[in-house]
Chains A and B, each alone.
Chain A
Amino acid sequence: MAIVTEREFPIPASGNRLRIPESLSIRAASLVVLVIVWQLASIAVSAKYVPGPLPTFAALWDNAQSGALMKHFTVTMARMLLSFAIAMLVGMAIGTVMGLYRRAEQSLDLVVMVGLTIPGLCYIIVSFMWLGLNDRAAVLAIAWTTFPAIAINIWQGVKAIDQRLIDMARVFGASNWRRTARVVVPQVLPYLMAASRFGLGIIWKVTVLVELLGRSDGIGYMLNYSFQMFNMADVFAWTLFFTLVMLVIELAILKPIERRLFLWRPEIRA
């Protein structure tokens, strides 16, 4: 009985055929399947409740043509980025202090945990009630919801710093500045990356919610508006657009940064 299968002896790629990496083709195939399932669901239920890919893209095109897409996208992005910057600054400061000082850790760990547990909706409502239905309140609410997750990641990162490597650098005469820049920062970087990815994941969801509750522009507002009009194609179109933007950020910004920074790691090289 033949134990060796053909798979173990791949036939060398013949001639000049362009070879597409396997991971990429699997991903592309899964996307195609997803679109097909979507189309089938639309046929099976009804185009009114589940608009198929074509009506959805048509609605997206209409919104792009009218200028609504760009306008609301810009507003949402601006809120998001500003809140993200604030949440990162606050989260990094708190996380670093917690990682460095035992007293700070003891007094803040519960606060951060509780901060992470309270639903974003509560922060949003409180923030709007304090500051009114304006962008200041929106940014505050978004940043507030996001910073605990960032603080926790940075806290873990600072605690995981290997003092032995710092000692090594010191013995070999590395200055204080050099030890920080070349030994400490590279150790915290993976945690910083995780923190920003975590933060972005939260911030998207909260921003939409904030816009739905208390703003009259942005993607969240348009989703709610389409809901009120019972325009399912528009709901799908805005959701799809949102997803595409997130994918672009992930694939065009986060992934390449990660690849560059962590090329040395065995898991990522594979």
Chain B
Amino acid sequence: MADISVQGLTKVYRSRAHPDGLLALDGVDLSVVDQEFVCLLGPSGCGKSTVLNVLSGLEQRYAGEVKVAGKVVSHNSGHPFRVGYVFQEPRLLPWLTVRRNIEFVLESEDIARSEWRERTDAWLHRVGLRDFAEAHPHELSGGMQQRTAIARAFAVDPEILLMDEPFSGLDELTARTMRELLLEIWLETRKTVIFVTHNCFEACFLADRIVVFSPRPGKIRKDIAIELARPRNYEDSRLFELSVSVTHYVTGKSVS
């Protein structure tokens, strides 16, 4: 069970520009059940990425209680569970081949060397990069680099998968293919996913549940269950209607 429970998460950033502190998150309560796909939706600067940073252990100073699979996310050291993270940019090590990039995280997660070959091959095959294992990142297109990043995140067999606007840097056609790919893989693996986005349509297409954030300080404004059957289809007219009403929640206009 890789459920996530966040209670009273508050984060204040102190910096030169804000000596009194900038309230980024104000008492966020969020619970995600095992195998759920949740989208955090909101305008930029609403603190939704901060939630991911806390869950991934990158942000260690916060108030509140954060648990993943019943284990408390430590305030001072690494996390006691495996995280798969897909960033907005691919964040591949440019001096390593695609294969070595994936092996780098397998080694970091103490996965037995004997499993590397099989896992890497399987995941590269799954994301359609079988023939590019020995290529360097600069030889790949932006979409292919992000595929590598997705393969890398799944390859460590994470307990939770965190995604921070992973498709916002891609052109819309590529992004669509990538969303479909992600959903296919997710239906096969059923990882618990938290997916941050500011794209309402994307959130409706992907999520079981959308959590809408208000602008700074980040608070949860609305929790919307998306009850569209899977596999989902871009041409579904209900998807479009749904995204219109979700957009109203994000912009703060009341639904008439």
Q: Which residues of A contact B (CB under 8 A)?
A: 164-165, 167-175, 178, 182-183, 186, 262, 264-266
* A186 nearest in chain B by CB position: B95
Pick from B82, B87, B91, B136: contact of A173, CB under 8 Å? B82
Question: CB distance B83 to A172 under 8 Å?
Answer: yes
The distance in angstroms between the C-alpha atoms of A220 and B58, with both chains bound, is: 56
**A–B complex contacts, Cβ < 8 Å, 11 sampled:** A164-B87, A165-B91, A167-B58, A169-B104, A170-B78, A172-B104, A172-B109, A173-B83, A186-B93, A186-B95, A264-B97
* Given A167-B58, A171-B83, A173-B78; A178-B94 close (CB under 8 Å): no
Q: Report chain B residues within 8 Å CB of A168.
A: 85, 87, 91
Give the interface size class of chain B. Answer: 20 to 34
Pick from A164, A178, A266: contact of B91, CB under 8 Å? A164
Question: CB distance B108 to A172 under 8 Å?
Answer: yes
Is B130 part of the binding interface, using a Cβ–Cβ cutoff of 8 Å?
A: no
Question: CB distance A174 to B95 under 8 Å?
Answer: no
Question: CB distance B58 to A264 under 8 Å?
Answer: no
* 19 additional contacts (CB under 8 A) given A172-B156, A173-B79: A165-B91, A167-B91, A168-B87, A171-B58, A171-B83, A172-B104, A172-B105, A172-B109, A172-B152, A173-B83, A173-B110, A174-B104, A175-B108, A178-B108, A182-B93, A264-B94, A264-B136, A266-B138, A266-B139
* Given A172-B105, A172-B108; A264-B95 close (CB under 8 Å): yes
Question: How far does the Cβ of A210 sit from chain B's closest Cβ, in whole Å?
Answer: 38
Q: Report chain A residues within 8 Å CB of B82.
A: 173
Within 8 A of A (CB), among B64-99: 78-79, 82-83, 85, 87, 89, 91, 93-97
Question: CB distance B57 to A170 under 8 Å?
Answer: yes
Question: CB distance A169 to B89 under 8 Å?
Answer: no
Q: Report chain B residues within 8 Å CB of A171.
A: 56-58, 83, 85
The 10 A-B pairs at the shortest CB distance, nearest first, are namely A174-B108, A172-B105, A168-B91, A171-B85, A171-B56, A264-B95, A173-B108, A173-B109, A264-B136, A172-B108
Question: How far does the Cβ of B76 sit from chain A's closest Cβ, in whole Å?
Answer: 13
Which of A172, A178, A182, A183 has most B Cβ within 10 Å? A172
Q: Report chain B residues within 8 Å CB of A174.
A: 104-105, 108
* A162 nearest in chain B by CB position: B91
Question: How far does the Cβ of B155 sit from chain A's closest Cβ, in whole Å?
Answer: 10
Interface string of B117-150 (1 = CB under 8 A from A): 0000000000000000000101100000000000
Question: CB distance B93 to A165 under 8 Å?
Answer: yes
* B139 nearest in chain A by CB position: A266
Question: How far does the Cβ of B87 sit from chain A's closest Cβ, in whole Å?
Answer: 7
* B156 nearest in chain A by CB position: A172
The distance in angstroms between the C-alpha atoms of A183 and B97, with both chains bound, is: 14
Interface string of B21-43 (1 = CB under 8 A from A): 00000000000000000000000
Q: Report chain B residues within 8 Å CB of A169.
A: 104, 108
The distance in angstroms between the C-alpha atoms of A168 and B89, with both chains bound, is: 11
* B94 nearest in chain A by CB position: A264
Q: Report chain A residues within 8 Å CB of B138.
A: 264-266
The distance in angstroms between the C-alpha atoms of A264 and B134, with both chains bound, is: 11
The distance in angstroms between the C-alpha atoms of A168 and B93, with both chains bound, is: 10
The distance in angstroms between the C-alpha atoms of A186 and B93, with both chains bound, is: 9
Question: How far does the Cβ of B53 sit from chain A's closest Cβ, in whole Å?
Answer: 9
Question: How far does the Cβ of B56 sit from chain A's closest Cβ, in whole Å?
Answer: 5
The distance in angstroms between the C-alpha atoms of A183 and B94, with both chains bound, is: 10
The distance in angstroms between the C-alpha atoms of A152 and B96, with both chains bound, is: 27
The distance in angstroms between the C-alpha atoms of A246 and B248, with both chains bound, is: 70
Question: How far does the Cβ of A156 sit from chain B's closest Cβ, in whole Å?
Answer: 18
Question: How far does the Cβ of A184 sit from chain B's closest Cβ, in whole Å?
Answer: 11
* B97 nearest in chain A by CB position: A264
The distance in angstroms between the C-alpha atoms of A241 and B178, with both chains bound, is: 61
Q: Report chain A residues within 8 Å CB of B87.
A: 164, 168
Question: CB distance A183 to B57 under 8 Å?
Answer: no
The distance in angstroms between the C-alpha atoms of A34 and B93, with both chains bound, is: 44
* A174 nearest in chain B by CB position: B108
* B108 nearest in chain A by CB position: A174
Q: Report chain A residues within 8 Å CB of B57.
A: 170-171
Question: CB distance A170 to B83 under 8 Å?
Answer: no
The distance in angstroms between the C-alpha atoms of A178 and B109, with both chains bound, is: 11
* B104 nearest in chain A by CB position: A182
Q: Report chain A residues within 8 Å CB of B79.
A: 173
* B85 nearest in chain A by CB position: A171
The distance in angstroms between the C-alpha atoms of A186 and B95, with both chains bound, is: 8
The distance in angstroms between the C-alpha atoms of A183 and B95, with both chains bound, is: 10
